[in-house]
Amino acid sequence: FRSTYALATNYKTWAELDAGADPKMKEQEVELARINMRITDCIESWHRVIEEVNPDLSLPDSGKMPTMIRVLVTQVRPDKVNDYLALVKSDILPAVKKSGAKDYSIAQSRFGEPATVIASVLGFNNWAELDAGVGPQKALGKEGYAALLAKVTPLIVSSEYDIYRFQPDL
């Protein structure tokens, strides 16, 4: 059994990546270093990807952490990135809105993956929601979703879904 964890950190500017330790945590510095060492000892491997969220292709932040997220990582054909993003704007985002989703974002890789890698993150509440489909699948129904996939397929190399559950205790 292997567990995979994702840590997402949002920054408003690139300069925020330069920030060091929080000065308010000075007294806890030694304890935090010890905790980080314990965490590092448990990690088999890690991979850092820096992505830029496209607000024009995303829903506004709901302000509430979804219980679960479906992360779709799509490798787009290099000559079709603009076509793929246009399809997100014209077909996928409207379908996500129609589905009633509250949390949805599109991000393009900037570092750690090729710029042709696009991640879409869709929030939902529980596994049972997958029975009816989430996002475009829910909004478009079986035939409509098949038609959408027929438009998407020629634009991509591959895509992979992962599902993560928010772990508030971590």
Q: What is the pLDDT of residue 48?
A: 85
- Cβ partners under 8 Å of residue 78, min gap 6: 116
pTM over 0.85? The answer is no
Q: What is the pLDDT of residue 156?
A: 98
- The neighbouring-strand residues paired with 62 are none
Amino acid at the residue 102: K
Q: What is the pLDDT of residue 16?
A: 83
Cβ neighbours, 10 Å, residue 144: 14
> Given the DSSP bridges, would you call strands 68-76 and 117-124 parallel, antiparallel or unpaired?
antiparallel
Whether 69 contacts 122, CB under 8 Å:
yes
Q: What is the pLDDT of residue 12?
A: 85
Q: How far apart are CA 45 and CA 85, in angstroms?
A: 31
Q: How far apart are CA 103 and CA 85, in angstroms?
A: 18
Compute CA distances 73 → 16, 49, 128, 161, whole Å: 25, 12, 22, 7
Q: What is the pLDDT of residue 118?
A: 97
Give the Cα-Cα-Cα angle 102, 107, 113 (nearest 5 degrees). Answer: 145
Could you list the pLDDT tens digit for every one of the 170 residues in the chain? 567 777 788 888 888 888 777 778 888 888 888 888 898 888 888 888 889 999 999 999 888 889 999 999 999 999 999 999 999 999 999 999 999 999 999 999 999 999 999 999 999 999 999 998 899 999 999 999 999 999 999 999 999 999 999 887 76
